[in-house]
Amino acid sequence: MLTVILIVVGLIFLTIGIVWLIDKFVPKSFKPVLNILLWGIILVLGYFTFMSVYGEIKFNKLKDERYRKVIVKLKDIRDAELAHKSVKGQFTSDYNKLVNFIETAKFTITQRRDTTVIDEELTKRFGGVEMTKSMVLIDTLGYVSVKDSLFGADTRYKTMMELPEGIGKPGDKINLDAGVLPESNIPIFAAWVDKDVILYDQNANLVGKEKEVMSVDGVRGPKLQVGSMEEADTKGNWPKNLSKE
């Protein structure tokens, strides 16, 4: 956009220069028509310069608003996936299973405590002299619903895979995948939406530039994503300012 602005500004100054030359060297009988024509050109170029700047400002504002709404969904998916791994030992790529898990599963509430017990083997070795050893015991205190822990009375988890209203075309959803790293069998998952989908109705050139962003101040790459299918990472690829509710 900067190149376009510089070109337009250059043309405006060139036109102003031409107006000055006309005023100085062109016969008076031709000046009124030429001046009106050239000032008209200046106004048109000024308008396009303003709109090119204002258009990108509006795009950036709308883009951030949509990103924030989608990030809320991605955070819910991450929380649900982390709960699934905590209970089941792995992530899932099936939304139906994830929703069912939230509605039916329970977290186990435990308590760790240190204790000392008699070490019978060592006691025998030392001829009956009582020997002890330290142990960590884990007591089960009870169970709590995953749904209540994560969402309380809110049922938004049932539609966490759907894009917020006004974002994307009908039928577009948040992609979800899960698996394990080949080398270590560490569970991994990723949920993402292509920027093309989020910004489907915006200027193609601005969307194309947005997909190439790699700055830490922006959403890096061609999609908005949480988790990764390449490494054990459950973070999102968005900056902190977009996470603020």
Residue 185: phi and psi, rounded to 5, are 60, 20
Is residue 39 domain-resident? yes
**How large a percentage of the chain has pLDDT more than 70?**
75
178 and 228 share a domain? Answer: yes
131 and 17 share a domain? Answer: no
| Helix axis angle, 31-88 to 95-104, nearest 10° | 50
Domains: count for the chain: 3
The whole-number pLDDT of residue 54 equals 67
115 and 159 share a domain? Answer: no
| Range scoring the smallest mean pLDDT among 65-69, 123-127, 143-147, 172-176 | 123-127
Is residue 199 domain-resident? yes
The whole-number pLDDT of residue 50 equals 60
The token pair at 103 is 């509605």
The token pair at 142 is 């009870």
Domain closes at, from 144, 170, 202: 144
Return the SS3 of 66.
helix
Is 15:43 a contact under the CB 8 Å cutoff? no
88 and 176 share a domain? Answer: yes
pLDDT of 164 higher than 60: yes
Is residue 35 domain-resident? yes
The token pair at 217 is 């101040």
Query: What DSSP string describes 174-239?
Result: -EEEEEE-TTT--EEEEEEEEHHHHTTTS-HHHHHHHHT---TTS--SSEEEEE-SSSS---BSS-
CA 33 to the chain's CA centroid: 55
Is residue 127 domain-resident? yes
Is residue 58 domain-resident? no
180 and 229 share a domain? Answer: yes
| pLDDT-derived band at 159, boundaries 50, 70, 90 | very high
90 and 120 share a domain? Answer: no
Is residue 11 domain-resident? yes
Q: What is the pTM of this model?
A: 0.73
Is 35:19 a contact under the CB 8 Å cutoff? yes
pLDDT of 52 higher than 60: yes
140 and 121 share a domain? Answer: yes
Structure-model confidence comparison of residues 56 and 143, the more confident one: 56
The whole-number pLDDT of residue 31 equals 60
pLDDT tens, position by position, 76-122: 999 999 999 999 999 999 999 999 999 999 976 657 777 777 777 77
Residue 190: phi and psi, rounded to 5, are -150, 140
Q: Residue 125's domain spans which residues?
A: 107-144
pLDDT tens, position by position, 2-13: 555 566 566 667
Is the alpha carbon torsion for 49, 51, 56, 60 positive or negative?
Answer: positive
| pLDDT-derived band at 136, boundaries 50, 70, 90 | confident
Say how far apart CA 133 and CA 37 lie, in whole Å: 98
Say how far apart CA 3 and CA 204 lie, in whole Å: 17
Tokens 């016969």: give the residue: 27
pLDDT of 171 higher than 70: yes
pLDDT of 36 higher than 70: yes
37 and 140 share a domain? Answer: no
| Range scoring the smallest mean pLDDT among 36-40, 87-91, 208-212, 214-218 | 36-40
Is residue 221 domain-resident? yes
Is residue 41 domain-resident? yes
169 and 49 share a domain? Answer: no
The whole-number pLDDT of residue 130 equals 75
24 and 122 share a domain? Answer: no
36 and 134 share a domain? Answer: no
Say how far apart CA 227 and CA 232 lie, in whole Å: 8
Averaged pLDDT, 64-72: 95
196 and 87 share a domain? Answer: yes
Q: How far is CA 60 from CA 1, 51, 70, 90, 243, in A?
A: 13, 14, 15, 37, 16
Q: How far is CA 212 from CA 58, 198, 205, 221, in A?
A: 19, 15, 11, 6
